[in-house]
Structure 1
Amino acid sequence: MLDRTTIEGWLREDLGHHDVTNDVPGETTGRLVAKETGVAAGIDAAEAVFSYLDVEVTERVDEGTELDAGDVALRVEGSAQDVLRAERTAVNIAGHASGIATKTAAAVEAAQTAGLGFDLDAGAAGDTPAIAGTRKTTPGLRGVEKRAIVAGGGDTHRLDLSHMVMVKDNHVAEMGMESAIEHFEEKASFATKIEVEVESPEDAPRAAEAGADIVLLDNMEPAAVERAVELVDESDADALLEASGGITVETVPDYATTGVDVLSLGSLTHSASSLDFSFRTG
């Protein structure tokens, strides 16, 4: 959950040193209203902003709730001054997070309906890849953005560098693939997975056989990803396969049919449009 220092920083940034705009007497109510369809996220954070200023949240939707235009995501009551002071920060956070959740949900649906035997009406899931985020997040907002991915039905991927060792091209250039994997196996805890980035299908089984828990198929076209999956299946190695690099919601179906286990999209966080909310009082 958010700590008070983070919320205080958000509010200080917006209120400045002498807020006259919101010097409004009396008590009021307010509601956060969706102006378009989407998936709710960041509602926990919005609630925390209001609560910090002792504004009571009287009603709210759960993270991951599907919203239609006109739906109320959150209701509050309290002093008019504090409701208005919290308004913009709460709306910005909820809009940003809900945009990420909405985009993630679209990617998840695209993967599920890519001809892999998934019937949304029947609810029968086929063998579809997970949709995951990346570390391409906004500094200071990673927690909010990662939770938004989960609200949209996606996977957070690693939350920070301590969650998994990523052996990238620069590591391989410096140490060689097998030596790099061996080096990090010695450094990492037994509980820490090692992922190895490869740039050609032929290197995928090589990485898996050298001890990679996960092989990242980086910047490959769908045909190359499919070939990498075939090569790893033909080997004696056992590793998860992740495709990443330039994948968009529109191209998810092309990758979802390759047999890969995970599709990670940086665009879920760095290119999601905010969901449009308005905040109305009285």
Structure 2
Amino acid sequence: MRVTDREVETWLREDVGHRDVTNHVPGETTGRLVAKEAGVAAGLDAATAVFDYLDVDASAVVDAGDRIEPGDPVLAVEGPAESVLRGERVAVNVAGHASGVATATRRAVEAAREVDDDVAIAATRKTTPGLRGVEKRAVAAGGGDTHRLTLSGMVMVKDNHVAEMGLEAAVRHFREEKSFTAKLEVEVESPEDGVRAADAGADIVLFDNMTPDEVREGVELLPDGVLAEASGGIGIADVSDYAATGVDVISMGALTHSAPSLDLSFRTGG
């Protein structure tokens, strides 16, 4: 899921509009993207793609996943001043947003590691439309798991499916529909329903919107070989409590939909 020229063109068209007088600056220039706060770098491939599209030479100074401190350069560019200035804001926005996601993910991973070395921190499909690839790569840069990238990656039986078909019937239906290569996950809202889902044939049971104590009970009831996942309103401050329940995965929509952008600044010349 790399950034495409079509994506970059859409981002630039949104920012430039039909007439850009602001950036009619002659000559050549250099520029650099600089961190203004500590965090984890991400989105530099997308920022580079913006400048590449504008025929500006751009190269990342750090790798995705690297820790950065205030004042650290993360990207260097050289080219026509008009093009450099035209790509500046889009590049800053996308890299800042991605670095914010990576930074939040790293904090969640570190909180989990204080309790359990094996529990995975995962993203969800609660991504910004048009930016899923950028955000999922940022999660990976932060040390998290991307979870399913699209609906085709795994079958998930959710509350609406259960409401329409019943839990056991929904699991049977989707086990018949899915490929043998795809896992089947079932979302449940009580520890007891986790057992029902496992007995019906779930590969993974998602304990949704439960307290850590409820999740722990659900995990203890599951048979061997069934993975356990916790999700639903979990913030970084809650990670250690959920990591102690014995789950295999903690998935957090907040990594992508609520992470604040990392403060980055673009400076030209010198």
Indicate whether the TM-score tops 0.5: yes
Q: Is the 8 A contact 1:30 1:77 kept in 2?
A: yes
Query: 2: distance between equivalents of 1:139 and 1:215?
Result: 27
Could you tell me how far apart the structure 2 residues matched to 1:175 and 1:11 are? 45
Q: Which amino acid aligns with 2:236?
A: V
2:147 matched residue in structure 1: 157
Contact 2:34 2:73 in 1 (8 A): yes
Work out the CA distance in 2 between the residues paired with 1:199 and 1:111. 23
Which residue is 1:209 aligned to?
199
Q: 2:30 matched to which residue of 1?
A: 29
What SS is found at the alignment partner of 1:279?
Answer: strand
- C-alpha displacement at 1:82, in angstroms? 0.3
| Equivalent-residue separation in structure 2 for 1:29 and 1:148 (angstroms) | 26
Q: How much has 1:243 moved relative to structure 2?
A: 0.2
Written as runs of structure 1 = structure 2, the 5 A alignment for 1:88-237 is: 88-114=89-115, 116=116, 126=117, 128-232=118-222, 235=223, 237=224
Counterpart in 2 of 1:261? 248
Deviations 1:56-89 (A, max 9, x none): 0144211111000000000000000000000000
Matched, 1:276 2:266: no
Residues in 2 aligned to 1:209 and 1:20: alpha-carbon distance in whole angstroms: 65
The separation in 2 between residues aligned to 1:184 and 1:207, in whole angstroms, is 12
Counterpart Cα distance in 2 of 1:26 and 1:54:
14
**8 Å contact kept, 2:12–2:90:** yes
Structure 2 length as normaliser, TM-score?
0.97
Alpha-carbon distance in structure 2 between the residues aligned to 1:189 and 1:262 = 23
1:61 is matched with which residue?
Answer: 62
Q: Distance in 2 between matches of 1:13 and 1:151?
A: 27
Report deviation, 1:100.
Answer: 0.3
Counterpart of 1:73 in 2: which secondary structure?
strand
Partner secondary structure for residue 228 of structure 2: strand
For the residues of structure 1 that align with 2:59 and 2:43, how far apart are their CA atoms?
A: 17
Structure 2 counterpart of 1:28, one-letter code: T
Amino acid at match of 1:214: I
Q: C-alpha root-mean-square deviation of aligned residues, in Å?
A: 0.9
Secondary structure of the structure 1 residue equivalent to 2:267: strand
CA distance in 2, matches of 1:181, 1:207: 8
Instruction: Tell me how far apart the structure 2 counterparts of residues 28 and 216 of structure 1 sit (CA, whole Å).
Output: 52
1:241 aligned partner: 228
Q: Which residue of 2 aligns with 1:120?
A: none
**What is the CA–CA distance in structure 1 between the aligned matches of 2:235 and 2:200, rounded to whole Å?**
30
Q: Equivalent residue of 2:152, what SS? A: coil
Q: Which runs of 5+ in 1 are unaligned?
A: 117-125
In structure 1, C-alpha distance between the alignment counterparts of 2:159 and 2:196, rounded to whole Å: 14
SS at match of 1:63: coil
2:42 and 2:102 in contact (8 A); partners too: yes
Q: What TM-score does the superposition give when structure 1 sets the normalisation length?
A: 0.93
Q: Which amino acid aligns with 1:43?
A: L
Q: Tell me if the contact between 1:43 and 1:60 (Cα under 8 Å) persists in the aligned partners.
A: no
**Once the two structures are superposed, what CA deviation does each residue of 1:201-248 show, in whole Å capped at 9, x if it has no partner?**
01112111211011000001000010011111xx3x521100000110
Residue 4 of structure 1, CA deviation: 0.7
Q: Which amino acid letter does the alignment assign opposite residue 231 of structure 2?
A: S
Q: Which stretch of the first structure deviates more once superposed, 172-181 or 217-226?
A: 172-181
- SS at 1:250's partner residue? helix
Please give the alpha-carbon distance, in whole angstroms, between the structure 1 residues aligned to 2:3 and 2:163. 39
Contact 1:100 1:273 in 2 (8 A): yes
Count of residues paired in the alignment: 268
Q: Do the aligned partners of 2:215 and 2:230 also contact (CA within 8 Å) in 1?
A: yes
The alpha carbon displacement at 1:192 in A equals 1.0
Tell me the secondary structure at the aligned position of residue 240 of structure 2: helix
